Amino acid sequence: MFGFGKKKELIIVSPLDGVVVPVGQVSDQTFSEDILGKGVAIRPSVGVVKAPADAEIAMMFETGHAVSLTTDSGADILIHVGLDTVQLKGEHYTAHKANGDRVKTGDKLMTFDMEAIAAKGYDIVTPVVVCNPDSFAEIRFAEEGEIHAGEPLIFIKPN
């Protein structure tokens, strides 16, 4: 419209194979109340987290249960594998990248043992959050349902 809205929509792809669920259904207020930003969640079916965009690793948590990235398009993304899983202190998680590493979409970031984590009573649902939503005009998410790593998950309209 009159030259507005021509900027290309940015797409963040799914870091996991699994099922998309609304973040409002996640039983952790940190995510369901958007305290860390605007997000969506995935119930994983395979224990591999892949880079959701070309990006730099801002923070690979020592415990390997979460990672934050700044994408080349300027989105701050947090992937938090499971709820309250900081308490596992890294057990059942393996980090494959380190702080400051450059990654390409699809690069393996972490692996985790889904069965072992679930067996200890943790919910493995994985919120994927845009931590700087105020930097963008609009953020939308893929609809509920099955998704594979590499398929579009978050649609970001630049300002």
Partner 1 sequence: MREIKHTIKDAFGMHARPAGQFVKTVSAFKSDVKLRTAAGKEVDAKRIMGVMSLGLKQNDVMTITFTGADEANAATATAAFLTENI
User: Contact with partner 1 (CB under 8 A): which of 11, 19, 21, 28?
Assistant: 28
Q: What is the DSSP letter of 119?
A: H
**35 is a site residue for partner 1 (CB under 8 A):** yes
* Structure-token pair, residue 120: 């200890």
Q: Which stretch binds partner 1 (CB under 8 A): 1-9, 17-25, 60-68, 111-119?
A: 60-68
User: Contact with partner 1 (CB under 8 A): which of 30, 32, 73, 111?
Assistant: 30
User: Contact with partner 1 (CB under 8 A): which of 87, 102, 120, 138?
Assistant: 87
Q: What length is written for the chain?
A: 159
Closer residue to partner 1 in complex, CB, 88/153: 88
User: How are the residues of the chain apportioned to helix, strand and coil, as percentages rounded to the nearest 5?
Assistant: 15, 40, 45
Active site residue 80: yes
Closer residue to partner 1 in complex, CB, 72/150: 72
How many Å apart are CA 82 and CA 66, to the nearest integer? 9
C-alpha distances (whole Å) from 29 to each of 32, 78, 83, 148 are 5, 16, 10, 26
- Residue 46 has φ and ψ, to the nearest 5°, of -140, 140
**58 is a site residue for partner 1 (CB under 8 A):** yes
**59 is a site residue for partner 1 (CB under 8 A):** yes
How many Å apart are CA 55 and CA 43, to the nearest integer? 23
Task: Report the nearest approach of partner 1 to the CB of residue 45 (Å).
Answer: 23
Give the number of other CB atoms < 10 A from CB of residue 1.
Answer: 5
Residues assigned a catalytic role: 80
Give the binding site for partner 1 (CB under 8 A): 28, 30, 35-37, 58-59, 61-62, 66, 68, 70, 76, 78, 80, 86-87, 99, 131-132
